[in-house]
Each structure stands twice: as structure tokens, then as C-alpha cells.
Amino acid sequence: MSDENCGVAELHYDGKKYELPVLRGTENELAVDISTLRKDAGLVTLDNGFGNTAACKSAITYIDGEKGILRYRGYDIEDIAKFSSFTETAYLLLYGELPTDEQRANFSQLLNRSSLIHEDMHHFFNAYPKTAHPMGILSSMVASLSAFYPVPETLTDEQEREVLANLISQIRTIAAFSYKKSVGEPIIYPSCTMRYVHNFLNMMFSSPVNDYEVDPEIARAIEIFLVLHADHEQNCSTSSVRMAGSSLANVYAVISSGIGALWGSRHGGANQAVIEMLSRIHAEKGNGSEFIKRAKDKNSNERLMGFGHRVYKQYDPRAKILKNICHKVLDRPGVNDPLFDIALRLEEAALTDDYFIERNLYPNVDFYSGLILKAAGIPQNMFTVLFTIGRMPGWLAHWREMHNDAGFRIARPRQLYTGAAKREFIPVQER
């Protein structure tokens, strides 16, 4: 399970030889440890977008992007999606093992007990304009939790358990409350008996004047959606959480920084962008070929949203599962979404196009997920909020792992300075 020293790599520079330890991970992936390179050789490494840099050691999630493998704590994502619930997955990510029956019951109870947000926070929702993006609201609400649930810099085990449960549970309450406020309906409080996803859907869609009943097929689809989004090792938002957390900042502020990073259309925001793209193609009555042409054009800003990935050089295993769920949900009698047909045609066209083949661009997690959320009645601008709810256990597992590592240091990358060389400052009167 741990890293193993397995030889040295030699670096020859300026007539000298430097030996750098090579470490082997659990699945035989190799890493050159360059941490002494600057001290020994005066060199830093330069790696645009951290494309080839392991920022830490981690025992949470394993990805083999060439083979399309994703595992949480050693378990294949396909099995987790098939057999597990979101809360069990959260427990697994946080604590490293599947819970016993007793641990599962206690964890569920703790989540239910933690689902309310302080009543004074309800006023905040009223202050946002109707047009506010829910990700902005979410990130400031989560940072505001630090004021209502203050915690010391170093947490006891009990405080940590409560903080983790608060964030996993309250994020769902905040998301549903912000939706209710945006449509001008009274908020629906969380229930202390409903399961995680049912509770969320109930807070979103029930009201004093309707008899809302959760559709079990939709609830299971959302559950799998959340499970599939629960962690993805050192992605942009998780790296932001680790980076901010390394300063020992308040955990609510740390998670808020992750929400900000996830919002962007190159990352979690892509699930909203995919549906916008499919809707545009539908509105133009096109088959997507014009769009694909624009996505390949370097002079255009268009990209095929939901395609491509930094790590996967073949089909994202999560996208495969989500595509199947789309079929289950959207092929039901009486249900039809023309955007699903467009997505299927777009995928087929891209996967047979040289541009996408040469660059190993395949559907990623965001390509099909929005269609499921749309079928569940989730408004488009809340798609990334659902990604956030799903990703919360992963962010917290990384935050916890980092803090439990006795040797963790503040994150502080170096740079290669390319600005002006030293020059004389001329006071304004003399210029």
C-alpha cells in the first residue's frame, strides 16, 4: 500500500551527475523525487498546468488514464456504482474502509442530524439577485458556515467528524434552499428520516401545495451520479482544496475555494456547458457537424464540451456508466429528450474524426451527466451544484488525508521568472 524506493534516476547537468530517488506506487506507477534538486543543482522543474507533476502521495483514488481504470480505495468504480450508496461511498473515501452496519447507521444518523443550517443564514438567500449563479451563492454560503460553526485550527476527532458531516449534509440543504428562493417558493426543511438523495429531491421539489413523490428510478440515477463524482484524485478543484488547506485555513473557507475552482467550464462547469451546446445544436436544427468543425478550428473559441481529459486517453469509465443510465432514464415510455439523440450522434461523429482520434479525445464525465440531471428536473444552472454535492466527500477526504500526514507542508510552487530584469526606478518628477 505504501510507496517503495526502487532505484535512482540520473540527471546530468553542467558536467555534474545528480541522483534522484525513484519511488514506486501501489499500482507500479513510478515517480522521480525532485525535492532536493534545487538545493543540490540549483534547478527547479517546469511543468505547465502540473501535467506531469505528482503534488502529493495519496491513498484515496487510483486512475489509469491509458486503460480507463478508476478505483476508490481499491474498489472498481463500476462495482461501487452498482452496489454502493452515496453515503457509503463518502464513508469509504473519508475513512479508507467500507463501514460496518453499525458504522453505516451511525454515519447516516450523523448526516441527518447535521442537515439543518443556522436559521439566521436563511436571510442571506434573500439578498442575492434572481440572476445570481447558484455556484456563487454556494461558495459564499459555505464560507459563511465558518461564522456559524466556528472551529479551531486543530480539530479533535469529534470536531472533525462533525465538520465532515456538516459539509456533506449542509451542502445539500444550501443547494435546495437556494433553488427554492430562486423560484420564489417556501423552503422545505430536511427530513431526519429520509435517505440522502430522497431528502435532497424532496427539499428541491416538494411544496406545501403539491404531493411530490420521489421517482425511484430518478433517485437511483442521481445516487449513481453522486457516487461517480465523489472523487477524482488531484483534479483542479481538489488541488485547490489541498492548496488552500495547506495554509491551515478554516475548513469551510477551504471548501469554498474548491467550489470556486469547480465552477469553470473546463472543469465541473462543463456539465452545464454541454447541455447549452446540445441545445444550441438543436435550436439550429443541425446534426452537430458544423459544431465539430468549429471545435477543431484553433481560431474559434468553441470546444466540444464534455470531451477530452487531462488524464484519460480513452473513454472515461464514468461516462460509460452515465451513458447507460441515460438509456435507462430516457428510453422509458413517454420520456424523450431530443438532446440525447444529438449527444449520441455527436459522440459517434467525434469518435470517427481524425482530429479527436489523434488527440485521444473521448467523452468525459460531463458529457452525459447533464441529460440525467435534466430528466430529474434539475435546472441547468444547478448542474455544477450537483457536481459539488457529489465531490464534497472527495475534497474532505483529501483535506483529511493531508492534515493527517505529519510531514505536510504549505503548498508553495516555484516559478520561472520571465519579467523585466533589474532596472532603475525613476521617480515621477524625473520621468
Catalytic residues, by residue number, are 309, 366
What backbone torsions phi and psi does residue 279 show, to the nearest 5 degrees?
-65, -40
65: its cell numbers: 488514464
For ligand SDX, the closer of residues 63 and 201 by Cβ is: 63
Relative to beta strand 75-76, strand 16-24 is unpaired
Task: List the end-to-end C-alpha distance of the chain, in Å, as a whole number.
Answer: 64
Output the smallest distance, CB 172 to ligand SDX, in A.
Answer: 19
Looking at the Cβ atoms of 143 and 304, the one nearer to ligand SDX is 304
Task: Return the residues of window 386-415 that contact ligand SDX according to CB under 6 A.
Answer: none
Closest distance of CB 53 from ligand SDX, Å: 13
Q: Hey, what's the torsion of the CAs at 394, 395, 401, 404, to 10 degrees? A: -140
260 binds ligand SDX (CB under 6 A): no
Site of grid cell 477543431: 296
Site string for ligand SDX, 280-319 (x = CB under 6 A): ---------------x-------xxxxxxxxx--------
DSSP letter, residue 44: -
- Per CB under 6 A, does 342 bind ligand SDX? no
DSSP one-letter code for 408: -
Of positions 364, 369, 384, 388, contacts ligand SDX by CB under 6 A: 364
Q: How far is the CB of 305 from ligand SDX (least distance, A)?
A: 5
- List the one residue from 80, 143, 204, 270 that touches ligand SDX (CB under 6 A): 270
Please report how close the Cβ of residue 298 comes to ligand SDX at its closest, in angstroms.
7
Residue 50: what residue type?
A: F
b/e per residue 206-242 (b: at least 16 CB within 10 A): beeeeeeebbeebbebbbbbbbbbbbbbbbbbbbbbb
Q: How far is the C-alpha of 364 from the C-alpha of 307, rounded, in Å?
A: 5
Residue 266 or 332: the one with the smaller Cβ distance to ligand SDX is: 266
The verdict on 230 binding ligand SDX (CB under 6 A) reads: no
Integer Cα distance of 236 and 233 in angstroms = 9
Residues 32 to 91: which contact ligand SDX by CB under 6 A? 49
Contact region with ligand SDX (CB under 6 A), list: 144-152, 244-252, 362-370, 421-429: 362-370
Q: Nearer Cβ to ligand SDX, position 178 or 237?
A: 237
> What is the maximum span of the chain, computed from C-alpha positions, in angstroms?
80
Query: How far apart are alpha carbons 91 and 108 in whole angstroms?
Result: 10
CB atoms within 10 A of CB 25: 17
Determine if 345 is a binding residue for ligand SDX (CB under 6 A).
no
Range in contact with ligand SDX (rule: CB under 6 A) among 5-13, 68-76, 151-159, 359-367: 359-367
Choose one: 21-29, 159-167, 216-224, 363-371; the region binding ligand SDX (CB under 6 A): 363-371
Q: What are the percentages of helix, strand and coil residues in the chain, rounded to 5?
A: 55, 10, 40
- By CB under 6 A, residue 385 contacts ligand SDX: no
Contact criterion met (CB below 8 Å) for 221 and 328: yes
From the CB of 58, what's the least distance to ligand SDX, in Å? 13
113 versus 359: smaller Cβ distance to ligand SDX: 359
- With beta carbons less than 8 A apart as the criterion, state whether 268 and 391 touch: yes
Cβ distance to ligand SDX smaller for residue 188 or 221 = 221
Min dist. Cβ of residue 364 to ligand SDX (A): 4
Q: How many residues bind ligand SDX (CB under 6 A)?
A: 21
Residues 157-196 that bind ligand SDX (CB under 6 A): none
Distance CA 349, CA 343 (A): 10
88, 160, 347, 366: residue in contact with ligand SDX (rule CB under 6 A)? 366
C-alpha cell at 75: 474498489
CB closer to ligand SDX out of 5 and 300: 300
From the list 60, 121, 214, 365, which residue makes contact with ligand SDX (rule: CB under 6 A)? Answer: 365
From the centroid of its chain, how far is CA 70?
A: 14
Question: What does the alpha-carbon distance between residue 83 and residue 89 come to, in Å, rounded to a whole number?
Answer: 10
Binding status of residue 320 toward ligand SDX by CB under 6 A: no
Residues in a beta bridge with 74? none
Using the minimum distance from each CB to ligand SDX, give the nearer residue, 88 or 366.
Answer: 366
**Chain position whose Cβ is nearest to ligand SDX:** 308
The dihedral built from the CA positions of residue 136, 266, 350 and 280, taken in this order, carries a sign that is positive
Residues that bind ligand SDX (CB under 6 A): 49, 232, 235, 266-267, 270, 295, 303-311, 359, 361, 364-366
